[in-house]
Chain A
Amino acid sequence: MNLPDPDSVPRREFCKAAVALGGTAGLSACLGVGDDRDNPGETAALSGVPAGDPESVPERQHAWNDVLERDESGNVVAPTHHVLRYCSVSDDLAAAIDDGDAGAVDDARERFADALSDIERGFEWSNEGLLFTVGYAPAYFERFDGRSEGPAGVDLPEPTALTSMEDPGFDTADVLVHLASDTPEAVLAAEEALFGGADAANGEPVTDVTDLFDPVDRRTGFLGPGLPREHRDAQGVPDDAPIPEEAPLFMGFKNGFAGSQATEDRVTITDGPFAGGTTEHVSKLQTQLNAWWNQENHHQRVAKLFSPTHAAEERVGEWGEKLGSNPAVADLPEDAIEFAREEGVVGHAQKAARARDEDGTPPLLRRDFPTTDGDHTGLHFLTLQESIADFVRVREAMTGSDLADESGVGSRLNNGILQYVFVRRRGNYLVPPRTHRSLPEPDP
């Protein structure tokens, strides 16, 4: 990957590219210094990035909403820059766990806990500083003796294919760290301190844990108005797609409506040793929006993303601005099959709403973000939910195979946006409460 010429592209676009590149080169580029391993820039205090205090960080790792801003409609504004780091525990640590070498495992656990606290000291727990979660795969818990049933009290199955339309690869790396910030340097500096060669971040020394983990994958993305439009040169979207400036998604609309998001309470595990934690599902989705932009009109796009009713009543506006904080799918007919037979098309949001709780509460807290990893448009579809079963339930409703079976709606065609989305990988993780976020035992 090459970075664009910083003088020829907007600062934000350059930083997005720097985050995608990562490493010392990305960080140095972001800081405007040379790519020089000895340059103190990558560990020094970052201009304008507030330091933090571990004492003030909430017990729930996923408690981000309180410190994030709201837009004028009251929707949470997600951080702009995102990195997902997938790591295996190192061979030495794996052997220690396998051998039941409590001393070595405890040492590793303490060091990683220290490192995470160091990061919290380096960065304010906010969109200007850094927000992050540390999650663990079912495969991680299986490393511990006698734990084929997974972490105590948590529904955390191995990932599976969820429809006949996909044959995804499965993310089984032990650890997934999600780093997010509006400040690209913060994401990169924290990443370098945890997994790279830096021994400090934002001027704060960070305990070395590089011997504990082996990198498996690194995924990046961004969420902000105008960013998709700026990145239309990627594969999977026409270079001249009329994506509105305000739209944070390549499909040309906004998301994250408060009315369709679960609260952090709803997704929090309530019982057992991991109470206060949550489960995390990440799908790696590729998107192909050639036909979306070249062959569908706005009416069709609204019908497929929201519902035909939204299209007919012009509820959405150009990019979702008319929806405020609520996509207003709750008032649509309950009998989606009958609706599908009459309309011949069902909307994505409309389908997903079928899986809401009985009282109308959405079960998933979406923290997904678009990407151009691999120079191809896509979405890292990250959701938090109390149990993975919640995700599967919503996904089944979204798949709409009942609709395809019993109406003229196809498995993909006119079935929400399924025609445009390709599932490439899936992974399930447990995000423990902060107390147990460092290399937890299955039943701590």
Chain B
Amino acid sequence: MTNQRTDDDGTDTSPNDRTDTSPNNRTDADPRGMVEGGPMSRRTILGGVALGTAALAGCADEDGDPEDDGGDADDDGDDDATGEDESDEGGAPALPSVDDPPDATYIPTHFEAMRHLDPIEAGEFEVEPMVTYPHRFWNVTGREVEAAEPSGSDDVHLMVAVRDPETGAVLPAETGLELNVGLEGESKTPHAPWPMISQEMGFHVGDNVPLGEDGTYEIEVRVGSIDARLTGEFAGRFDEAGRGSFTFEFDGEFRDEVVGGIHYLDEEHWGRHGALANHMAGSHGDHGDGEHGEHGDDDHGGHGDDDHGGHGDDDHGGHGDDDHGGHGDDDHGHGDAHDHRGEERWSVGEGHHRFGTYRRGPDEGEVPLPDDLPGSLLGEPALADAVYPATVLDRGSRFVDDDAFYLAVSPRTPYNRLMLPMMALDYAVERDGEVVAEGSLRDTLDHEVGYHYGTALDELETGDELSVTVETIPNVSRHAGYETAFNEPGTVSYTIELP
């Protein structure tokens, strides 16, 4: 029992009370579950949650989304919450969802709870496993966004995040990633999980997975490679597959933790523009055994009710002081009072149960703040609620082989600054109404710029008009709160200003 930590508010069962023999479990739990900890049967737990959901849905008679863009004809203001619950068969709890969410990043109804397992090594990669209850997510096939509902046979939502152990950076390492799942010592069945983005977990891969009976499950992980062009300190790395494995105990206690640990938000926030804090962020640098420390402990100071009572007092108001965690993230000064939509920033809650449109600090995103991008920042236009900072690096930078300029476009989610992989972007440079350069941008992973889409440009002058066109929307799967955002193709424009 070396490493078990529970991200809860202190009322959960102590580690000593547990029968779990897995040495490496930590649960992001919150005691405001429908079920208190304890040895309850799975059926009881699920029943309890369903009841709780009914109670929540039953009082959903108020529009909790005052900032909805209002463009939806059927947004009559009384159906923001819904009884359209996920299946409660096969281990998937019934959960409320936001009905008719805006076509934007929005606050879902709850924070997920999940069990974090100790990171493992897989060759050159670090793999961070997380397990929770099966739940709905959305897959993107071309232009089609389709809800993936948990089936009756799914038992868990199994996720891994892949990181560079040296920099702590989350890697879009979906190429050839396999999870081979089965009872310890028994035959395994392979899964190629979906690349996904989640407000709470950032980029990871995951899927709803059937297991079967309770027991110790072993997951053999294969991390393949990264499709993106690798530059900077990443150049020449990650070209060999890595393997590792982890185990976890699938039992009533696990289900109790992850289902009971769901942290519901007050309904008035459901569907608002904004995002939940990414609790996987901030682990850059201090990676290793002390990872996640900053959210593992700084948000459990007895404020378990932080966003349930009287939260009206800390949002909308002093958005200037939205850095409860003392991240010092507000020192970017200019324009920080408003977000990319021009709306006033707001924040509710603390620690990793914080949410809103507050400005995330330098270490709280997967890609840098626009101001921290190297080169000459051309602007940060938004399209379909994604933000597209673009920058031009001077001739002869390390991104090019010759004397060319380098253009980097860094699409990201608003607020949490998650990378948006699996897009196709085209560019065109116009001068005096004539196209002088055009082509497609190459997905690229750099230790400094992060995941971006770039190209070398030979000819470029200050005053040139640059347009970047989204040919393929991000075909990365989405957790709740992202499924209605980023889904419109279109074009963003910039005026070149050479560095």
What is the distance, in angstroms, from B325's C-beta to the closest C-beta of chain A?
34
Q: Cα distance A305–B195 when bound, in Å?
A: 20
Interface centre among B190, B225, B426 (most CB of A within 10 A): B190
Interfacial residues of chain A within 32-68, with CB under 8 A of chain B in the complex: none
B174 touching A167 by the CB < 8 A rule?
A: no
B224 at the interface (CB under 8 A from A): yes
Of B152, B190, B195, B471, the residue contacting A286 (CB under 8 A) is: B190
B474 at the interface (CB under 8 A from A): yes
Q: Cα distance A236–B182 when bound, in Å?
A: 12
Chain A contacts of B473 at CB under 8 A? 344, 408
A411 at the interface (CB under 8 A from B): yes
Binary B-proximity of A142-165 (CB < 8 A = 1, otherwise 0): 000000000000000000000111
Chain B contacts of A343 at CB under 8 A? 142-143, 472
Of B142, B152, B174, B424, the residue contacting A303 (CB under 8 A) is: B142
Interfacial residues of chain A within 215-266, with CB under 8 A of chain B in the complex: 235-236, 238-240
- Minimum CB distance partner of A401 in chain B: B227
Q: Cα distance A304–B151 when bound, in Å?
A: 21
B22 at the interface (CB under 8 A from A): no
B422 touching A410 by the CB < 8 A rule?
A: yes
Chain B contacts of A401 at CB under 8 A? 227
What is the distance, in angstroms, from A2's C-beta to the closest C-beta of chain B?
16
Interface size of B in residues (CB-CB distance below 8 Å): 44
B442 at the interface (CB under 8 A from A): yes
Known: A294-B154, A341-B471. A303 touches B141 (CB 8 A): yes
Known: A410-B422, A413-B422. A164 touches B472 (CB 8 A): no
Of B142, B176, B187, B225, the residue contacting A374 (CB under 8 A) is: B187
Q: Cα distance A404–B241 when bound, in Å?
A: 18
- Minimum CB distance partner of B176 in chain A: A165
A410 touching B207 by the CB < 8 A rule?
A: no
Binary B-proximity of A410-422 (CB < 8 A = 1, otherwise 0): 1111100011101
A376 at the interface (CB under 8 A from B): yes
Chain A contacts of B227 at CB under 8 A? 401, 404-405, 410-411
B241 touching A341 by the CB < 8 A rule?
A: no
A413 touching B194 by the CB < 8 A rule?
A: yes
B24 at the interface (CB under 8 A from A): no
Chain B contacts of A345 at CB under 8 A? 141-142, 475
Chain A contacts of B175 at CB under 8 A? 164-165, 404, 410-412
Of B152, B174, B209, B442, the residue contacting A412 (CB under 8 A) is: B174
A408 touching B176 by the CB < 8 A rule?
A: no
A117 at the interface (CB under 8 A from B): no
Interfacial residues of chain A within 104-163, with CB under 8 A of chain B in the complex: 163
A181 at the interface (CB under 8 A from B): no
Chain A contacts of B376 at CB under 8 A? none
Q: Cα distance A228–B140 when bound, in Å?
A: 28
B141 touching A288 by the CB < 8 A rule?
A: no
Interfacial residues of chain B within 204-219, with CB under 8 A of chain A in the complex: 207-210
B192 at the interface (CB under 8 A from A): yes
- Minimum CB distance partner of A345 in chain B: B142
Chain B contacts of A239 at CB under 8 A? 153
A442 at the interface (CB under 8 A from B): no
Binary A-proximity of B135-146 (CB < 8 A = 1, otherwise 0): 000011111101
Chain B contacts of A409 at CB under 8 A? 422, 472, 475
Q: Cα distance A291–B473 when bound, in Å?
A: 21
B424 touching A412 by the CB < 8 A rule?
A: no
Chain A contacts of B141 at CB under 8 A? 296, 300, 303-304, 344-345, 414
Q: Cα distance A304–B304 when bound, in Å?
A: 46
Q: What 6 A-B pairs have minimum CB-CB distances, sorted nearest first?
A: A408-B472, A165-B176, A344-B142, A295-B148, A411-B175, A344-B472
Instruction: Pick 22 A–B contacts, CB within 8 A, sort by A.
Output: A164-B224, A165-B175, A236-B189, A239-B153, A288-B189, A290-B151, A290-B209, A294-B148, A295-B139, A295-B148, A296-B141, A308-B142, A344-B424, A344-B475, A404-B175, A406-B424, A409-B422, A412-B175, A413-B174, A413-B422, A414-B475, A422-B178
Chain A interface residues (CB < 8 Å from chain B): 163-167, 235-236, 238-240, 286, 288, 290-291, 294-297, 299-300, 303-304, 308, 340-345, 374-376, 401, 404-414, 418-420, 422
